[in-house]
Structure 1
């Protein structure tokens, strides 16, 4: 499965300022981590990326930064396994593709060539904010491992 190509690059500071937010080191680092990743990241993966870059943070500050990015439409949440969210950067305010969740390793991969589908016909008075299409199964690596184990 190919990784999704990075969205059109907009510097993190510009994204934050364009949304009227306070430019903080954590927000900038989170956006840059999401922009650099070929797949959606969990809170822990983002935290590890920040720690590896020497950026001090705590869990609450990171959650607040992610919540703000989602509220502003800069990033989006994707339901992952074990009630954990994964996050990815949005491009052009939209990120309309399906995702694949590997039930074996927990990885979530972007399926850029698979559209998330058309907006559903909702009853009168309903307003769609967002939708997700997530496929579940075994990724290519886990599928190969399962096939090897079955041959033994």
Structure 2
């Protein structure tokens, strides 16, 4: 008779990677872990690479070269774990995809290129926005489209740039 081993708690990042058919490499855990730990911030490839170099305490000895990081980001985006946005300057920005989110409203500053979530600012109209997104997704699904996500972007100049004040520390420019 086989002995039953007690269930151990699974690492949530490993579980996410496995559930999406990805290998649970140290690099994949590092990148996904970083982005999940900073859910309201979007990063360019270069910003993410710099952030991960500075965060070597998480995975000492792991170096992510530019190409490996590009490929990993691409795979994470393809399976829906990351959201990729292309801003008005055609720069790709990545952030963790919140579970069961079809649309993430955000504001892109054309001056400092900060990307700010608008969920709090649109609280009163959030239900209408979610209804509109869900309606559009259902219409496209009925036409046979699959694996969709929606991106609502408002572009302009943020209040900090408009008034000449400096953006808060820690916000990627």
Q: Partners in 2 of 1:20 and 1:127 — Cα distance? A: 21
Taking structure 1 as the reference length, what is the TM-score of the superposition?
0.77
Q: Which residue of 1 aligns with 2:77?
A: 70
Does residue 105 (structure 1) correspond to residue 112 (structure 2)? The answer is yes
What CA deviation, in whole Å up to 9, does each residue of 1:4-58 have, x standing for no partner? xxxxxx8322211222211112211111221222311111111001111234111
Q: Give the count of matched residue pairs.
A: 137
Query: Of Structure 1 and Structure 2, which has the larger fraction of its residues in strand?
Result: 1
Question: Is 1:127 aligned with 2:145?
Answer: yes
Matched, 1:96 2:98: no
Asked whether the equivalents of residues 103 and 152 of structure 2 are also in contact (C-alpha less than 8 Å), the reply is no
- What does residue 52 of structure 2 align with? 50
- Residue 95 of structure 1 and its aligned partner are, at CA, apart by 4.8
Equivalent position of 2:92 in the other structure:
85
TM-score normalised to the size of structure 2?
0.69
Change (3 A) 1:40 1:95: farther
1:130 Cα deviation after fit:
2.5
d(CA) in 2 for partners of 1:26 and 1:140? 37
**Shift >6 Å, 4+ stretches:** none
Unpaired runs of 5+ residues, structure 2, are 1-10, 57-61, 123-128, 166-173
Higher Cα Rg: structure 1 or 2?
2
Q: Structure 1: which 5+ runs fail to align?
A: 1-9, 147-152
In 1, the alpha carbon distance for the partners of 2:25 and 2:78 equals 16
Give the root-mean-square deviation of aligned CA atoms. 2.4
